[in-house]
Amino acid sequence: MEKEQLKQQLKQQIIQFLNLTNVKPEDIKDDQPLFGEGLGLDSIDSIELIVLLSREYGISIQDPKEGRKVLVDINTMVDYIIQHRTK
Amino acid sequence: MDLEEIVVHLFSPPRNTSTNLTTTTGSNFKSQISNHFMFIHYNNCISTQQTFEKTDLEILHETVDNKLKAIEPSYEGIPPGILRRMGKAVRMGVGCALPALQEASQANGIIIGTANGGMEDCIRFLNQIIDYEEGMLTPGNFVQSTPNAIAAQLGLMTRNKQYNITHVHRGLAFENALLDAMMKLRELPDAIYLLAAVDEISDYNYNIDYLDGWYKKEPVKSKDLYSASTTGSLAGEGAATFIVNNREANAVACIKGIQTLHTTNENTVKQACSEFLSKHLKPGEKPDICITGENGDSRMLKYYSAVESVFDEATTIARFKHMSGEFPTASAIALWLACNLHSLPAHCIKKQGTVKHAENIIIYNHYKGSQHAFIWVQRLEKIKPGLH
């Protein structure tokens, strides 16, 4: 899958998993921070994102420090998925 | 002595004061009677009709697939980040109660009655366990799925760290919450409580109850509910909230008595109704209006007929389940209607009584023919029933 396609797919999955009913994929910029002032996600959402990576891409993030580096924005997530996906 | 009786005895003064008693008549008849007066001030309702913010009950919102679904507001008081995680029951409960808690920011407790809480989220969570083979699960559905999530969310959002409890006694969940509020107000006479009830239609509950015959098989419109001679009712959902305390000033209504009983015998229900009336009404006094939970189920009509037979031509008989649908805490909608009797439309009136005003209101409801409750409400504003 092309990287751009993967980004679009990931955005749709984030909207679905986090029930972001008022957000469209095009509203999420690739370099927009997911947490804090960006998309406004919080700590419970971070667990939902880790579950998303596990279910959809077979990626298990065990180390919280690693999670902080991965769950920064769409770009960092997609890069990590490309390197570590098992499905 | 069972737990129910123990609780009543614990919170009761000695019998000879006649302020609270527990009666047991026969093996299937247990009741609680409390006549501590509790005043209702602010009240709010999210239901299957237009009852939130602007009330209009003249236009009857119809069923879809024999379900009456709640008309939900935009929930502007709930932050979007929290709202998106909420299931329907939590949304309705919190959305209905938040304006009330703004009116009573110093509430001494939050008392909720719900039979099922967020059942839809609960089933979603349980299905995840199966779908993902007990692997990694998302916390959102779990957090929202417990019945006490509504009271907990309210406590967190309003930073109310006081008494916080959820009653889950199926068809008597609201009545037990109401009884709890009355007992708490007897303990703490200056306190103020948020009392609420909420239940949602979940696919799981609907399907189980449908297969068990509690919902109609054939399509039935709301306005035709009582003329249908078949079994089952229409599914409903909703939330109602009340701010209660012991102060009469500015109150809209007063709860003067409540009685719950478990029985399947209509004669026992009739006897309980007669005793309830004779206990609470003065000699010669008659209830002005009786709001019953008649739900169009031909098997359940005998209970409502038994209760209606206790009243004479003076008392108006009104029904509300064609508006709310059937759900375990529907009696809270009836109590909200009693508080807002000026909004009672003509399509609710089953029999117009001869009384000229509606002050003494009896609410009778039962759930699945076994959990019955009578609530005596006294309106503090006299109006004419059914003549609006």
CATH number of the domain bearing residue A16: 1.10.1200.10
Picking from B192, B216, B245, the residue at the C-terminal end of a domain is B245
For residue B374, give both structure tokens: 């009578």
Q: Report CB contact under 8 Å: A55, B132.
A: yes
φ, ψ (nearest 5 deg) of residue B57:
-100, 0
Same domain, B201 and B81: yes
CA-to-CA distance for B111 and B109, rounded, in angstroms? 6
How many structural domains is chain A composed of? Answer: 1
Q: For residue B172, give its domain range.
A: 42-245
| B167 and B309 part of one domain | no
State the smallest CA–CA distance between residue A61 and chain B in angstroms: 11
ipTM of the complex: 0.79
Q: Which domain holds residue A21?
A: 3-84
Do residues B71 and B17 share a domain? Answer: no
Instruction: Give the Cα separation of B275 and B261 in Å (integer).
Output: 12
Q: What percent of chain B has pLDDT over 70?
A: 89
- Domain presence at residue B112: yes
Q: Are residues B76 and B188 in the same domain?
A: yes
Asked if B139 and A47 come within 8 Å (Cβ–Cβ), the reply is yes
Quote the pLDDT of residue B32.
56
Tokens 């409903």 sit on residue: B236
| Nearest to B112, CA basis, from B100, B124, B126 | B100
Report which secondary-structure segment, H or E, holds B242.
strand B238-245
Q: Which of A15, A43, A45 to mutate to test the interface with B (most CBs of B within 10 A)?
A: A45
| Cα angle, residue B190 at apex, residues B189 and B191 outer, rounded to 5° | 95
Between chain A and chain B, the number of residue pairs with CB atoms below 8 A apart is 27
Q: What secondary structure does DSSP assign to B86-122, as a single string?
A: --HHHHHHHHHHHHHHHHTTT-SEEEEE-SSSSHHHH
Using CA atoms, how far apart are residues B368 and B214, in angstroms rounded to an integer? 8
CA distance B29 to B31: 7
Q: Flag whether B236 is in a domain.
A: yes
Q: What is the CATH number of the domain that holds B286?
A: 3.40.47
More confident residue, B214 or B285: B214
B14 pLDDT band, cuts 50/70/90, is: very low
Say if residues B291 and B322 touch (Cβ distance below 8 Å): no
Q: Give CA–CA dist A11/B226, Å, rounded.
A: 50
Query: Domain tally for chain B?
Result: 2
pLDDT at B214: 97
Helix (H) or strand (E) segment spanning residue B277: helix B266-280
Do B129 and B271 belong to one domain? Answer: no
| Whether B282 and B305 share a structural domain | yes
Kindly state whether residues B72 and B102 are assigned to the same domain.
yes
pLDDT number for residue B4: 45
Selecting from A19, A44, A55 the residue whose C-beta is nearest the C-beta of B139 gives: A44
Does the residue B388 lie in any domain?
no
Say whether B139 and A48 touch across the interface (CB within 8 A).
yes
Q: Look at residue B355 in the predicted model and tell me its pLDDT.
A: 83
Examine the domain organization and report whether B28 and B167 are in the same domain.
no
Q: pLDDT for B120-145, tens place per residue?
A: 999 989 998 998 888 888 888 888 88
pTM of the model: 0.88
Listed residues B211, B228, B245: the one ending a domain: B245
| Phi, psi values for residue B241, rounded to 5° | -130, 140
Dihedral class, residue B146 (left if φ above 0, else alpha if ψ from -120 to 50, else beta)? beta
CA–CA separation, A62 vs A54, rounded Å? 11
With a cut of 50, which residues of chain A have pLDDT below it?
Answer: none
Contact A11/A17 with Cβ under 8 angstroms? no
CA B86 vs CA B83, B114, B117, B292, B332: distances in Å: 5, 16, 12, 32, 22
Judge whether B55 lies within some domain: yes
CA-based nearest distance B83→chain A, Å: 10
Mean pLDDT of B31-48: 83
- Distance of alpha carbon B127 from alpha carbon A63, whole angstroms: 28
Residue B332 lies in a domain: yes
User: Do residue B106 and residue B185 come from a single domain?
Assistant: yes
**Contacting residues of B for A21, CB less than 8 Å apart:** 84
Same domain, residue pair B161 and B235: yes
Which of B84, B88, B143 best tests the A interface by mutation, with the highest count of A CBs <10 A? B84
Tens of pLDDT along B336-378? 999 998 878 999 999 999 987 888 999 999 999 999 999 999 9
Tokens describing residue B41:
């001030």
How would DSSP label each residue in B119-131?
Answer: HHHHHHHHHHHHH
Chain A contact for B81, CB < 8 A?
yes
Residues B87 and B23 in one domain: no
Helices and strands (H and E) in chain B: how many? 12, 13
